[in-house]
Amino acid sequence: MSQRPLVFVIMDGVGITPETFGNAVASAYTPTLDYLMNNHPTLLMKAHGTAVGLPSDDDMGNSEVGHNALGCGQIYSQGAKLVNESIEDGSIFESETWKELVEFSKDSTMHLIGLLSDGNVHSNIQHTLALVSQAKKEGLKRVRLHTLLDGRDVPAKSALIYVDKLEAHCASLNDETFDARIASGGGRMLVTMDRYEAEWGMVELGWKTHVLGEGPTFTSATEAIESTRAKKDVSDQYIEPFVIVENGEPVGRILDHDAVILTNFRGDRALEISRAFEEVNFTKFDRKFVPKVMYAGMLQYDGDLKIPNKYLVNPPRIKNTLTEHLLPHGIRMYAISETQKYGHVTYFWNGNKSGKFSDELETFVEIKSDLVPFDERPWMKSAETTDLIIEALKSGQYDFLRINYPNGDMVGHTGSFLSTQISVEAVDLGLERLKKAVDEVNGILVVVADHGNADEMYEPSKDKSVMKAKTAHTLNPVPFIVYGADVVLKEGKFGLANVASSLSQLLGIEPNPVWEESMIESIK
């Protein structure tokens, strides 16, 4: 077994493309990344679509499926693909949970809360449409939709496309026996979809909007969206919360005996609102009124913590992770990131497992993220996380250390080119410091990314007349770089799932045969 420590760096949201226009990665001053890619073994990996278990290669990758693939070395059906398969074969509507939800709300209302887009990262509008259609087939009388607007995984100002599609679908079904309509909503970065307990106020605002029917009132979602846009130039993710009223009353408060489904399939931004509905001794904010509902998620977002208790589609049960493979060999592991990506180097890395496989051999460190807009502080906590991983590396207490730099992704999502450029430069500075520390301990450094984002900051408007900010992930490949080891990389097409075998090989441990193959031809 290799006694040399291995440092694994994930540059979140840093894709590689020869296109320079709108490319904050290429425009950034990155002497360390440039040096590593030009002078040390490097290849480009696929980080989207079928390589990470998504339905097609038109689907952008994301940090969750990316870290699943990196951490387990296998390709599992993920998110949209899981739900797609369940809807196509009808099993979602044969599930015990769906039948219970229908029975529970047959004389009341079924509520659907979720991100309204086809980004295939957190949700897909087609799933929502299928649930509304099936609700009518089951004989339900009322469906209310609480729409969270995207502008992040899809074009920044595309909300009305999805609102129009949803309203047209409801209109085609509505009659004297069935009434489906939008009841509330707001931008995903203001309402409901917090993650990692970074800002519970977002969830509280969502609770007031969806459950209590409190907030700015409008007669339609279109009016609400246009009202916000008239006041300030913001992307859909920052649309102010809204409540739809009729005759002065909210059309869709959530009441006792209603059923509630969270239609998102991705877990990180679904956990907190789920806790607000289900947690008996909930203390994060004053809910004021807690309706006696039946609550379910599209998936179970945390299998260990059983959140939520009821769900429509079984999540992938990931086995044979890299961590599990390394433990019998006594490999001491260290994982660090700031709050925004802490779960990615722990929970998602370990195959959607809360907690550790081994308290003795695994160390998790979270640096609390600043509660400021990312474009206002694009360096985020890169310096602090670098400080600590260098300290851990030099301590000699760890064999395998991993770090996620969230900057390229989180700042890239803001649409600010200048801030994203600075964010990439901050990551490069961290790489420079890590490279020096690796040299001092005679270690190995491996650098990758989990998907693209900062590499494409502009896209054409719908009529292609102007370029506008792009806030979504990209389909570009990501790097795999080895520094400090004399290796020969294979030729061929590889994806994120090939990384686990490669890391295991660098640690001197035979890869698990169930994994995708190593990208390393030989180590001299």
Q: What per-residue confidence (pLDDT) applies to 349? A: 97
Q: What per-residue confidence (pLDDT) applies to 309? A: 96
Answer yes or no: is 196 within a domain.
yes
Q: What per-residue confidence (pLDDT) applies to 314? A: 79
Q: Strands 458-460 and 467-469: what pairing?
A: antiparallel
Answer yes or no: is 280 within a domain.
yes
Please indicate whether residue 369 is annotated as part of the active site. Answer: no
Residues 127, 206 within the same domain: yes
Last residue of a domain, one of 286, 313, 340: 313
Name the burial class of residue 522, with classes exposed (0-12), middle (13-18) and buried (19+) by CB atoms within 10 angstroms of its CB: exposed
Residues 221, 361 within the same domain: no
Assess whether the previous peptide bond of 308 is cis (omega < 30° from 0): yes
From the list 27, 63, 416, 502, the catalytic residue is 63
Q: Predicted confidence band at 464 (pLDDT cuts at 50, 70, 90)?
A: low
- Per-residue pLDDT tens digits for 91-114: 999 999 999 999 999 999 999 999
Residues 237, 128 within the same domain: yes
The CATH number given to whatever domain includes residue 335 is: 3.40.720.10
Say whether 207 sits in a helix, a strand or coil: helix
Q: What per-residue confidence (pLDDT) applies to 1? A: 43
Q: What per-residue confidence (pLDDT) applies to 465? A: 67
- Per-residue pLDDT tens digits for 53-67: 988 898 889 898 999
Number of separate domains in the chain: 2
Residues 155, 182 within the same domain: yes
Residues 226, 267 within the same domain: yes
- What b-and-e string marks burial along 217-234, b requiring 16 or more CB atoms within 10 Å of the CB? bbeebeebbeebbeeeeb
Whole-number mean pLDDT of the chain? 95
User: 87: which 2 tokens?
Assistant: 């809807």
Residues 118, 143 within the same domain: yes
Answer yes or no: is 181 within a domain.
yes
Residues 97, 24 within the same domain: no
Q: Does residue 19 register a pLDDT over 60?
A: yes
CB-CB contact of 426 with 378 (8 Å): yes
- Calculate mean pLDDT across residues 346-360: 94
Residues 207, 337 within the same domain: no
User: 275: which 2 tokens?
Assistant: 């806790």
Q: Kindly report the pTM of this predicted structure.
A: 0.77
- Per-residue pLDDT tens digits for 272-318: 999 999 999 999 999 999 999 999 999 988 765 789 999 999 777 89
Q: Predicted confidence band at 463 (pLDDT cuts at 50, 70, 90)?
A: low
Q: What per-residue confidence (pLDDT) applies to 301? A: 84
Residues 91, 65 within the same domain: no
Residues 239, 93 within the same domain: yes
CB-CB contact of 457 with 24 (8 Å): yes
Residues 322, 299 within the same domain: no
Answer yes or no: is 1 within a domain.
no
Answer yes or no: is 505 within a domain.
yes
The label of the residue with tokens 């995903």 reads 188
Q: What per-residue confidence (pLDDT) applies to 80? A: 83
The label of the residue with tokens 């301990």 reads 441
- Calculate mean pLDDT across residues 422-427: 98
- Per-residue pLDDT tens digits for 186-228: 999 999 999 878 899 999 999 999 999 999 999 999 999 999 9
Say whether 490 sits in a helix, a strand or coil: coil
Q: What per-residue confidence (pLDDT) applies to 78? A: 87
- Expressed as residue numbers, the domain containing 476 is 6-77+317-523
User: Which region holds residue 4: left if phi is over 0, alpha if psi is between -120 and 50, else beta?
Assistant: beta
Answer yes or no: is 238 within a domain.
yes
Answer yes or no: is 126 within a domain.
yes
Distances (CA, A) of 129 to 103, 107, 146, 173, 188: 20, 21, 13, 11, 19
Q: What percent of the chain has pLDDT over 90?
A: 89
Least confident residue range of 161-165, 339-343, 398-402, 462-466 = 462-466
The CATH number given to whatever domain includes residue 139 is: 3.40.1450.10
User: Any idea what DSSP says for residue 118?
Assistant: S
- Calculate mean pLDDT across residues 475-499: 97
Answer yes or no: is 18 within a domain.
yes
- Calculate mean pLDDT across residues 397-411: 98
Last residue of a domain, one of 294, 313, 332: 313
Pseudo-torsion of CA 241, 243, 248, 253, nearest 10°? -140
Last residue of a domain, one of 313, 343, 373: 313
Q: What per-residue confidence (pLDDT) applies to 461? A: 66
* Rounded CA separation 484/506 (Å): 10
- Per-residue pLDDT tens digits for 102-157: 999 999 999 999 999 999 889 999 999 999 999 999 999 999 999 999 999 999 99
* Rounded CA separation 404/181 (Å): 41
Helix segments in 40-105, DSSP class H: 63-72, 79-88, 91-94, 96-104
Residues 236, 290 within the same domain: yes
